[in-house]
Each structure stands twice: as structure tokens, then as C-alpha cells.
Amino acid sequence: MEGYLDLYLEPRIPSFLGFPRDISRSKAAIMGIPYDSSSTCKPGCRYAPQRLRNVSHNLETYDPIQRIDVAELPVSDIGDVREFLNPYSMVDIVSKVSCELNSTGKIVIGFGGDHTVTLGLINGLRRGVSLVMFDAHLDYRNEYPIGERISHATVLRRLREGLAKEAVVIGVRALSKEEVRDLERESNVQVVYTWASEKDVDDSLSTLSKDRYVTIDIDVLDPSVAPGVGCPEPGGFTFHQLLNILNRVFDGKVLGIDVVEVNPLVDINDITSYLAAKLVMKILSLFFA
């Protein structure tokens, strides 16, 4: 059990907000998963973890709403999981690392990578989490591309095979008719479209149990706000709309969280990396509020 952190992770400098690698005094641990083998539009999100770390040093760390300095929180940045091409080995390794962190009581915070990394992160925590997923897409295909069961377009489908006992998917606005057909047989997945009301969001979240895992595909935001994504989809949230919903998600206990699909190779002036870094800072202040 012990020792996966040393075996499978490489330290990264600079770390996110200068957080130490040592986990002995931290309550949350950030890990990067530079994996984008399943990107079907444009690859490049393997570069996101280090880009987020770099830009984090240009952001103010004081949160005027929670009145805390995020850089002073008990958080570690344990580095990046070594790179893998094969999705099965990636899921296996990420799951071992997230399990080790969880067994020492740490909140796990993952930086993708493409959305496939969520499978490994949750697999290491526990089976049967309540999933809150922010995504423009439903990611509920059975195979995508044909023959590929483990990819960023099948994540929700695979999670529903045991890892997530229920799910609320928020910000959806792009899905196939096959996904809609298959979803009609599902009683434990609720889809909250981008055009839904705040009450719809609250009603859906209120059905979830308290052990939550949150995954944020950054393409849930509007492409004008977050242009650096592989598959931009018009009609998304603003940053503040996302934060507003996240606030309500944190009413329940959150076991872990990830931010995926930031693609620095197609970004403009690092807008999306800055946004994702700021989002992680907001998430940290919610964890420690």
C-alpha cells in the first residue's frame, strides 16, 4: 500500500502556488495527470498541469469572500503521475495513488489531462460515490471512437457501471441521440442543461447523498470564457455562474475533485489556464471555508 507516491509521481517545479510536496502536514493533495491519449478533437491537455502551476504564481492568493490566503492553506502539490499512453495502465496507476492519498485522509485534487483521468481518481477513493459532473458533453457513449470503451467520451457511462451510484451532470448542451436514448433507461443520472433554472440545479443536487465527487470539464464554460479546450461548445456558463453552483455543491461532503480538459496548446494568452488555476484556488477556499 505505502510507497505509490514515490514510485509513480515526479515532482514539478514550480509547484501550484508554491505548495510543498511533503504531505505530512497537509489536508489536501494536488496531483497532475498529464494524459491526453483519448483526446478526439485536439490533443494537448497533457500540458495543463504544469501550465496551471506556472500561471498560479501570477495570481493574487487572497480570497476576499472567505477572507483567507489560499497559499497559506494546508495543501500539498505532490507532482505529476508519470506519463502513460495506455488508458488501462493510467487508470490503474492513478487509482493506486488516489487510494493511498485517501487512506491517509487527504482530499484528492486532480489536474487533467483529458476526462478519462476521472475514472482512476474515483476508482481509488471508493465505489458508489455521488457524482457531480460539470460538462458541456454528456460523455455517456458506450464506445468512442468505435472499439474504445475507455475514453473521454465514455467517462460517465463507465462510472455508472459501479463507481458512481448516482450522478448529476450540469451544464450539458451537446449530446447524441444515442446517448439520450440510453439515458432514458437510467434512473440515477440527472441531466441539468445549461438553460435550466437555479431551482432545477438545487432540486437535482438535493437528491444526492453527501459523499460527493466533483469533476469539472472546463468546456462546461463558454468558449468565450475558456477558449483553450479541445472541443469548444457554444452556450456555456460564465465563471461566476459556475462558482455559484459550486458553492451549493459544497453543502455536502466532497471527497475529491478534478479539473480536466484544459488544453494550453489551443489557448489564447493562457486565459483558460489562468481561469482553471483561479477555479482551483476558489475550490480550495471552499474546502477550508
Contacts to Mn ion by CB under 5 A: 115, 135, 139, 217
As a whole number of Å, the CA-based R_g of the chain is 17
Alpha carbon of 239 to those of 28, 119, 174, 185, 222: distances in Å? 23, 25, 19, 33, 9
Residue 219, all three cell numbers: 468546456
Residue 228, all three cell numbers: 483553450
Does the bond joining 112 to the residue before it have cis omega, within 30 degrees of 0?
Answer: no
Spell out a b/e string for 172-205, using b for 16 or more CB atoms within 10 Å of the CB, else e: bbbbeeebeebbeeeeebbbbebeeeeeebeebb
CB 243 within 8 A of CB 225: no
3-state secondary structure of 74: coil
Taking phi over 0 as left and psi of -120 to 50 as alpha, with beta for the rest, 149 belongs to alpha
CB 14 within 8 A of CB 55: no
- Residue number, 79 or 113, with CB nearest to Mn ion: 113
Task: Give the DSSP H or E segment for 131.
Answer: strand 129-134
CB 276 within 8 A of CB 48: yes
Rounded-to-integer distance, Cα 20 and Cα 23, Å: 8
Could you tell me the smallest distance in angstroms from the CB atom of residue 167 to Mn ion?
13
Could you tell me the smallest distance in angstroms from the CB atom of residue 113 to Mn ion?
11
- Residue number, 63 or 261, with CB nearest to Mn ion: 261
Does the bond joining 264 to the residue before it have cis omega, within 30 degrees of 0?
Answer: no
